[in-house]
Amino acid sequence: MKFLLFVCSCIVLCSTHASAQQDLTTRTVISGLRVPWEILWGPDNKIWMTERVGLVSTVDPETGAKRQLLDLRTVVSEQLEGGLLGMVLHPNFADSPHVFIAYVSWRNGDFYKTVQRYTYHNDTLSDPVEIFLFEPAAVFHQGCRLLIDSSRHLFITQGDSFDASTVQNDASLQGKVLRLNIDGSIPSDNPIPGNPLYTKGHRNPQGLCMLPNGVLVESEHGNDIDDEVNILEAGRNYGWPKVEGPCDLDFEKIFCAENNVREPLWSSGPSTFATAGLTWYDHDRFPALKHSLLETCLKSSKIVQIELDSTLTHVASVHDWFPYRFGRLRDACVSPDGRIFICTSNRDGVAKAPFPREDDDKILELVPIADTAVPILAVVPDTTRAYCLVGDTASFFVNVTNVGSAPLLITNVYMYGAQGQFYASHVFGPFSIDPGRTYPVRCTFAPTTDGPIRDAIVLHMMRSGTETIHEFPVVGSTIAGVLKASADTIDLDGSEMEEDEASFTITNVGTVPVHMNGFTISGAGKQFVSASFEGDSTIAPQEQRTVEVKTTPIDVPMLTATVTVTSSGYKQPRVVVRITSTTTSVSSTDVAEKPLLQLAPNPVHETLTIHFPSVVPGSFEIRTVMGCVVASVALTSSTSSVDVSALASGMYVVHTTMHGNHVSLPFIKQ
């Protein structure tokens, strides 16, 4: 049943999407933000904003000028889904200039979530008062959207903290929408006396708004299916984790009947969009959006418009806006005259390519597209060439640019004419290209026959309800240069104080000469590996070059590095050799073996004695094998004893500097 319902909704989406999309574009208000989470229209005609890093600011919607009101970066914990999240302003801000914010922090060895009230004065927020505390909190499924109704009740959405076991328990706050008085006390008319619970059975509610009739509407993330938009009724159950979406399965019907479950106003079907902010819109500025809930979505990177009927109880139609155009969309706000602003959330650590972009994150304003504006598609260069050998594959990108004055929607990408030897793909779903924006379409060349091969990349573009087709030529050839290394891994075993070296060979197994540009080394620090070769940098077909690899003194017992050969061949850069280096095995150390440094006993249980026979350094450090300092000790004599009983079992390094040289010796803590 759930699948059939989704198919029907897909038909609605696909049939209405093109006509809805044609009327709007956006302008950038401000960019370079740190994951804006809440945006509100303020009484000063500015956008009030929280950034997850811990900042509260206002943004001028005309100029993009940003003014910081509060800095909690040393207080909040931005780990995973934490940070500074929801915010709401007092409805009577002129007389009660109070701002309520929710954030996750670290206290007494655990996470906690708090809602605090601040007072606004002279462009600052001060005098915090704790209204609500949830401890311990979690790093997932915070909820944290705030709303104050006309009766001065504060609503707080609370996620299940990634633990669904207590969501149906009235004694737990997890998976609930909470209702408090504005001072933090519990209203006397709550569904359960003395309990802040207003509704239960929610997974991760991140959207909350009020309809014109005073009814609250909430949106939440589904698990693998059925994101939901719900009409909230006091004391009702919304099903999670027993019910996902409508009560349409047999066991769900039984649970719904026995537990006062209210079915969702709308659900996403057998996939999830990661619904976030929820806003009501009913202005003449954008007639196509009137009488609708605007749902910003993270994973599906779009705005879902849910138009309601005249009773505000049923869905009349559903439209998608800006799919995959700006990446993850977190929230929206509406000005009194009907302007709409949205914010992106591409720097939250989970965005997919091509996001985050250099100018993320940002606040955008929706604006109409002029009737005379047209998109124009160009590709750079006009003809793309790819090189590969038969039986191998090579990836390349075709950069498609919109050089027109209006955004365009690419609905499909494919290649034809070369019997599957070329194929193209893009990130996922339809994607939109703004004027002046370039989109890299990833292509793959997998030749099955020798010689030159021609094809075309085909893009289907939607504009004004009409689909047009654009083709750009692609030429492939099996006449290619290919470098191959003689080994994938080279092991270097030697003293930590002496250089060691090894070599591997590079062979051109292709059909044309290859120019070897050089090497890049990564993974172990600048002091670890160097690589070089002798002879001409141009390698003819079947010719070899010997690459010399050296290690210099290192500070830890084992490190790895990667040597990547860059070249003009089609596999650029694909020749990668892994280098490992292991110092002398750890054992009890004798002064004769290590005249500069002696450790005893080794391995050690409690007390490590460190002896410097020849010179006394100023201090030494004990480090993990990853280089983290766990102890630092100042020396007054040539022998020092250190209590290491508190260290976890494993390998550590004693490190110091003598005569300008780094001296290190490993030991084992048992």
The answer to whether residues 303 and 281 touch, using CB atoms and an 8 Å cutoff, is no
Q: Which residues make up the CATH 2.120.10.30 domain(s) of the chain?
A: 2-368
* CA pair distance 496, 582, nearest whole angstrom: 8
More confident residue, 78 or 588: 78
The confidence band for 51, taking pLDDT boundaries of 50, 70 and 90, is: very high
Q: If you count them, how many residues does the chain have?
A: 670
The confidence band for 323, taking pLDDT boundaries of 50, 70 and 90, is: confident
More confident residue, 548 or 462: 548
Q: Which residues make up the CATH 2.60.40.10 domain(s) of the chain?
A: 377-477, 483-582
Just give the CATH number of 483-582.
2.60.40.10
Supply the pLDDT for residue 554.
47
More confident residue, 217 or 375: 217
* CA pair distance 342, 348, nearest whole angstrom: 16
Whole-model pTM?
A: 0.61
Radius of gyration of the chain (CA): 31
Structure tokens at 328: 């993850």
From residue 498, how far is each of 503, 552, 622 by CA, in Å? 17, 7, 22
From residue 67, how far is each of 13, 57, 123, 257, 327 by CA, in Å? 40, 5, 8, 52, 26
Selecting from 3.40.50, 3.10.110, 3.30.70, 2.60.40, what CATH number does the domain 598-669 have?
A: 2.60.40
More confident residue, 401 or 175: 175
* CA pair distance 446, 453, nearest whole angstrom: 10
Just give the CATH number of 377-477.
2.60.40.10
Structure tokens at 413: 């990408």
Listed in sequence order, the residues at least 6 apart from 65 whose beta carbon sits closer than 8 Å to its beta carbon are 59
* CA pair distance 414, 398, nearest whole angstrom: 12
Label each residue of 30-51 as H, E or C: ECCCCCEEEEEECCCCCEEEEE
The confidence band for 381, taking pLDDT boundaries of 50, 70 and 90, is: low
More confident residue, 11 or 271: 271
Top mean pLDDT of 482-496, 514-528, 575-589 is at 482-496
Supply the pLDDT for residue 497.
45
Catalytic residue among 17, 90, 141, 655: 141
Residue 13 has φ and ψ, to the nearest 5°, of -60, -50
In this prediction, residues 50-71 reach a mean pLDDT of 96
Q: Does domain 2-368 have CATH number 3.40.50.2300?
A: no
Residue-wise pLDDT tens digits, 607-655: 888 877 665 667 788 876 555 677 887 776 778 888 888 787 767 778 7
The answer to whether residues 667 and 586 touch, using CB atoms and an 8 Å cutoff, is yes
The confidence band for 668, taking pLDDT boundaries of 50, 70 and 90, is: confident
In this prediction, residues 487-496 reach a mean pLDDT of 58
Which residue, among 164, 314, 181, 321, has the nearest Cα to 243 in the 3D structure? 164
Residue 9 has φ and ψ, to the nearest 5°, of -65, -35
In this prediction, residues 85-102 reach a mean pLDDT of 96
Question: For residue 503, what is the DSSP state?
Answer: E
Helix (H, G, I), strand (E, B) or coil at 251: helix
Supply the pLDDT for residue 213.
95
Amino acid identity for residue 431 in this structure: F
141 is catalytic: yes
More confident residue, 478 or 48: 48
In this prediction, residues 488-494 reach a mean pLDDT of 60
Residue 486: alpha-carbon gap to chain centroid? 38
